[in-house]
Amino acid sequence: MFSNNHHNDGHVAILVPAGIGIQEMLIKRSPDKFYRPAYVGVRGWVGIELNRVSDEELALHINEGWRLIAPQKVQDAFDAAGGNAPN
């Protein structure tokens, strides 16, 4: 999800699901880059400040988050297509 200063929280960020314990670890390691977002934070999602992350790191977090929630059949088709969306 994209968050653009939602309810004036000051964050321009991407919100992604994170594995068990990952949200807490990321926030503790880099609280200027990661935060616990309202509503979905209680479910383990993490907010990633867009102005504090490289494109490469952001892509990694998006991919990891997608793999946590995408059905296995969809992941298998994606992987079979060489990491490109199948037609």
Q: Is residue 86 part of a domain?
A: no
Is the pLDDT at 5 greater than 70? The verdict is yes
Is the pLDDT at 84 greater than 80? The verdict is no
pTM over 0.75: yes
Domain count within the chain = 1
12-55 tens-digit pLDDT: 999 999 999 999 999 999 999 999 999 999 999 999 999 999 99
CA distances from 56 to 5, 9, 18, 67 (A): 23, 25, 17, 17
Q: Is residue 23 part of a domain?
A: yes
Q: Is residue 36 part of a domain?
A: yes
Higher pLDDT, 69 or 86: 69
Domain holding 71, by residue range, is 2-80
Torsion angle, CA of 21/43/59/70, rounded to 10 degrees?
A: 110
